[in-house]
Structure 1
Amino acid sequence: MMAHEQESEQAEVVPGEGVASGGGLSRPAHDLLGKVPGSEGPGGSDSVTTVLVAFGANVLIALAKSVAAVMTGSASILAEAAHSWADAGNEIFLLIANRRSRRPPDVLHPLGHGREAYVWSLFAALGLFIAGAAVSVTHGVQELVTPEPAGQFVVGYVVLAVSFVLEGISFLQSARQARSEAESLQRDLIEHVLATSDPTLRAVFVEDAAALTGLLIATAGLAAHQLTGSSIPDAIGSILVGLLLAWVALLLINQNRRFLVGQEADPRLRAAALQALLEAPEVARVTYLRLEIVGPRLISVIGDVDLTGDDTESHVAVRLRALEARVSASPAVAGAVLSLSAPDEPTLVV
């Protein structure tokens, strides 16, 4: 089999996340998917930074909100305190997810441990639902049944304002990472956050966005309580915060569920990989190709190909294994399994 140098003049492609234009990277001759630009595989450093920033911000915010909730007696601020403690706990799960998903393959896990990221992120989403949503809604209902007066409103406003700034810093970090990836993949920001195979990025971005919205709800509830002297608006604010957290948690649970049961890669990535295979000199046809996400920015490749020439069976087997090795050489590929196409199978086209 002939080896050849390949140099990309295109942009990044993240497994499961599309193809774009711009940038350029050179690839070793043995890496067939060097033709698929940006297939660097799982990184993790940006996601770890994003989670650490969120964790630090949420711990500080949770402490401040807890003190403010005691001083003011505000149901909305108490709901926000529960929200921040839940977020802080979730960041621990996300750090575990990031670390365990990057463990190398072994005999029992030949495709690696990438899907562990979705397991631990699912735990984090369940924690948000239980510790955040359920507590907030329950306390809001209790406040409606047995209302309690609030005071020290200035303290509440100050804490909410400081919390907004800290949450904003965390949100900007997650948005910066998401925007950088989205632009390279020709996606808008929200589309990328929902579609990315990186569950830690999605969790931090969505939770920070919910936190900023929750702070606005809590501020409105506290102000209405102060203006009317009634705790009903404050209690309603607590319930609304809880419902917001429940919606976010269910969204994250569903996304992690989809990746756990098997999510096929973005069609644009499949098209780029198909093009790379068809351009390989030893490949005459490709009749089947499936790219499945097996972890953050990590895929497995399964396909049927027809090789050029008319070699003996033993030579064909050697060439096929060599082609698999070239596909698997990409850091973005956890493993590749290629079989020979039947003569009557239709050829795939890009």
Structure 2
Amino acid sequence: MTVLIAFLANVLVAIAKTVAAVMTSSASMVAEAAHSWADAGNEVFLLIADRRGSRKKDARHPLGYGRSAFVWSLIAAFGIFTAGSIVSIMHGIQELAANEPVESPVVAYVVLAIAFVLEGASFVQALVRSRRLARERGSSTWDFVIDTSDTTLRAVFFEDAAALVGLVIAGGSIALHQITGVAAWDAIGSILVGVLLGIVAIILIGRNMAFLVGTNVSAQLRARVGRALLESPDIERVTYLHIEYVGPNRLFLVAEVDLAGDAREHDAARRLREVERRIEAHDIVETVVLSLSVDDEASLAF
């Protein structure tokens, strides 16, 4: 739902900005139009990411298809960089020497104001969700958005935040052009919007690459998983624990545990499978592999 709201908002804003760019001949409005069309296109990739990443695991993909969400989100981030950042910077550089006045500036301000309301509504929706999830995890909103495996939520959050800042930059650039009569201010606005998009794209590219290559889960999550294992009446201690993301909010868990009691090998294997099935019933757990600990291995503390 977060991505769909962002997509609809970006399409409406992109159309309005394109009309305003044609009517005003403003470099900043051209940059903002390119920004919104890039964002709208990227939301399509994010919708694909959600759909592809939610497919159930099968024989060919025993850990599920969750990592495909990181791939499609990475493509979307490259889209921001190429279609948004590079286009805006190049157009701004080309317009630096121009000295034509902005035509119908009122149109530009009205469109920017409407765009701010639409983008703001989308951002508030993403912000509210991020704050709620951050509170549940005992984290700050910023740390949650940076570290979360929910790649589409992070993309929408950063794209909408960048859109709001970009609108302020565009409005200020047009105003400075009007006040000073120097057209370069409008071009500088376009360049600044492009730089802003480049920074956002680099952040999103880096986070998606980290999850694709393999990144450590937070210490808080590791501790929560460890404590959950020890809360099982069948598990006496944990001597090894490996957790990795195999998709947005999907975990692959490998652990060595010491079962309570002194059951025979056959009974111990059956109990392990029962514990695995109970853990895999959790919403965020994709696959669990448990094995028995060796007596002289040290217990992990959580």
Asked if TM exceeds 0.5, the reply is yes
Q: Which amino acid aligns with 1:275?
A: R
What is aligned with 2:24?
Answer: 72
1:283 aligns with 2:283: no
Which of 76, 85, 97 matches 1:133? 85
After superposition, residues 1-350 of structure 1 pair within 5 angstroms as: 49-350=1-302
Helix, strand or coil: the match of 1:264?
coil
Distance, in Å, in 2 between the alignment partners of 1:279 and 1:161 is 54
Q: Which amino acid aligns with 1:144?
A: L
Runs ≥4 in structure 1, deviation > 3 angstroms? 145-149
Distance, in Å, in 2 between the alignment partners of 1:158 and 1:285 is 64
Q: Percent of aligned positions with the same letter in both sequences?
A: 56
CA contact (8 A) 2:98 2:183 kept: no
> Which deviations, in whole Å up to 9, do the C-alpha atoms of 1:76-123 show, x marking residues without a partner?
111000000000001100111111111111101112111111111111
CA contact (8 A) 1:265 1:299 kept: no
What is aligned with 1:34?
Answer: none
Stretches of structure 1 that go unaligned for 5 or more consecutive residues are 1-48
Distance, in Å, in 2 between the alignment partners of 1:281 and 1:181 is 29
> Which deviations, in whole Å up to 9, do the C-alpha atoms of 1:174-210 show, x marking residues without a partner?
1121122112222222121111111111111111000
Distance, in Å, in 1 between the alignment partners of 2:283 and 2:138 is 22
- For the aligned residue pairs, the C-alpha RMSD in angstroms reads 1.3
- Aligned pair count reads 302
Structure with bigger helix share is 2
Q: How big is the shift at 1:146? A: 4.3
Distance, in Å, in 2 between the alignment partners of 1:53 and 1:287 is 45
Q: Which amino acid aligns with 1:184?
A: E
Distance, in Å, in 1 between the alignment partners of 2:294 and 2:75 is 44
Distance, in Å, in 1 between the alignment partners of 2:4 and 2:207 is 22
Distance, in Å, in 1 between the alignment partners of 2:4 and 2:233 is 46
Distance, in Å, in 1 between the alignment partners of 2:275 and 2:131 is 35
Q: How big is the shift at 1:147? A: 4.4
- Normalised by the length of structure 1, the TM-score is 0.83
Q: Which amino acid aligns with 1:232?
A: A
Per chain length, whose mean CA-contact separation is higher, i.e. which structure has more relative contact order (CA < 8 Å, sep 6+)? 1
Distance, in Å, in 2 between the alignment partners of 1:276 and 1:129 is 41
Distance, in Å, in 2 between the alignment partners of 1:118 and 1:297 is 12
CA contact (8 A) 1:277 1:283 kept: yes
Distance, in Å, in 2 between the alignment partners of 1:341 and 1:147 is 75
Helix, strand or coil: the match of 1:344?
coil
